[in-house]
A and B are shown apart, each in its own frame.
Chain A
């Protein structure tokens, strides 16, 4: 059945109203506000041009935040994909209780990032730290909390993020890998492929489209990393774990510098849109080939 133009408009209208009214219009208003001195706290405002963006870009703290989030993303996302894929490969063959394992994989993702932050805070903390307790139990010396250490704070946050996200990647990839016909695995085995060969020749090509999509999703999420970091370190020590999202939040809601908070938020949005554009380009090229 071919939909008429009228049918198409009718079906699209609810989504258009939802997205237009509650996303596009407010977002555009926010974008406009970044070119002014507008703040909900003032009754007058004036045109500021690019001054807000310039202030953000020239703020060394924002530079630190960008550096951190780039490191966070380029390390965390590949690790999440690799570990998630590896576990999915192991869970691929049917075995008793596989569906339970798969459901279990979803648990860290289902825990809200704030709750996850609180949990890890108690694991690492020296007052109530489980890790410290375990060290003490084995007669070890007190372990300094890694989130209070300038060099270890960011790697620790990356580890926490990988813990939360990698199992989710597994959850998404298992059905795709399980759906690969058994003959293809057998063909690869008969052709003398090692485990590595089976992964590269069979599993990866099968999972590639989904990996690309998940990778794009995770990259977007990583660029906006916020909740867990807010709870665990607040961006510290120093600026060791500050991210652009945290920077934006601090400016808008802690120091009430609304124009700077909004401008930095739009710079994050631009980064995410850039990643989305790369994804579209890659997927279009793949479809064409």
Chain B
């Protein structure tokens, strides 16, 4: 008995020593931000909020900082954060938001300048983030204000099995896209005996249709690199919405509206994604989400049947000196591939983290550490493979490490296709930055989206639609101030002269 007691005593003492050692080690590395609470606001999700909430306890264990994730509906997020900052209520220390809003948040000085922090933080591995997100998406007037957590841009998904079977190549131009869509429209694509669709797009009003149109228009409008911009002339802030390039894009968009589900005009992204992963569409245009949804076997009927390519391009682009469409040549389309100008569109820009400048320095340090932790390859390389996070790849390491993708359920070939399309977009020097000037929401969600919805519904010709968008954009620009809007637009493109 006494021997048993002695053994027990040794075990207890041993456990206590181990416990004290481990406590000691936590104390030494885990109390850096002890007692600090960081209030991070983002949208209700579950996407975006989910990884923040899931990883907050681990971050607390590692650093002592308590992260409180506050969620609000997406439609309220912009106003809530801006109101909070403008009224100096400062109930949020950090926000994970749409970087398009930088145009409203940075000029009044609400966001912390993170330029020095990102360069000096080894955990973050800033240079691993793709150049587009570093130099454009996270940057305003040459200074860094956000940490990218998500790589958003649109690309085209296609049914690899169907195209291979019929000897077709993935679309290179928008004319190819239309031809392939027409080829498959009305055929049974998933073996259920019902007619399916050549292409499925989200064209619902007051939803996300305008991004799809910009994805089409970008190929015709921007050919000289990201700094050229695809929305306004950077000399005089005249909209690029009333010219033969915009007309061509409207024409393509109208054709696409007729090659798809009969209720395509009322489909949002949830519908088009559901149709595609349900095997009912040959083509679709979307962010990176379809790639991860397609491998989710609980809902996908197209696992390992999906290919992805950079957004289709155009052999003709807008020559801004003449205002006419012109064939691509080395001068007009310096970044063209085989005479086709591709302009991948970073629609929305990807959820990014920013810090409230008015928070205390200790809280700002902790907030930065949390955002850095979320973006660091160790965490983000896993999060971008999970569909429910809403995060898409944006780091070089996300593309180089196929293991995380195969572990998530993608075949090696599917991962290569998916990541290849993203990489082709990311490496393009002609990527299109989404609009981020004051009242961007009016330009895109009110003026552009409504005009497109009317146009698709048959209310108004191409010419009337272009005039309508241009008139409304110009009126808003003049109302706010043409020069200040031009300055903001150039700042967003990091145009310094």
Contact = CB atoms under 8 A, between A and B. Distances in A.
Given A126-B275, A256-B441, A235 B79 contact: no
Nearest to A251: B446
Contacts of A254: 75, 206, 441, 445-446
A142 B441 contact: no
B453 A61 contact: no
A256 B78 contact: yes
A125 B271 contact: yes
Q: How large is the interface on A (under 10, 10 to 19, 20 to 34, 35 or more residues)?
A: 35 or more
Given A125-B263, A150-B458, A255 B442 contact: yes
Nearest to B197: A126
Given A144-B262, A253-B75, A253-B76, A239 B459 contact: yes
Contact of A235 (B78, B205, B442, B445): B205
B87 interface: yes
Contacts of B266: 145, 147-148, 153, 232-233, 236-237
A134 to B, nearest CB: 13
Contacts of A283: none
B450 A234 contact: no
A257 B446 CA distance: 10
B457 interface: yes
B274 interface: yes
B274 A127 contact: yes
B265 A148 contact: yes
Range for the number of chain B residues in contact with chain A? 35 or more
Given A41-B82, A254-B75, A127 B271 contact: yes
B280 interface: yes
Interface string B444-467: 011000100110111100000000
Contacts of A43: 86-87
Contacts of B442: 255-257
A256 B439 contact: yes
A8 interface: no
Nearest to A238: B457
B280 to A, nearest CB: 7
B263 A128 contact: no
Given A148-B262, A251-B446, A253-B75, A237 B206 contact: no
B293 to A, nearest CB: 13
A148 B263 contact: yes
Interface string A222-240: 0000000000111111111
Interface in B192-235: 194-195, 204-207
A283 B453 CA distance: 43
Interface string A248-289: 001101111100000000000000000000000000000000
B86 A41 contact: yes
A237 B86 CA distance: 37
A126 B457 CA distance: 18
B204 A234 contact: yes
A188 to B, nearest CB: 49
Contacts of B280: 127
B446 A126 contact: no
13 contacts: A127-B261, A127-B271, A148-B263, A148-B266, A150-B457, A150-B458, A236-B204, A236-B205, A239-B457, A250-B206, A250-B446, A254-B206, A256-B79
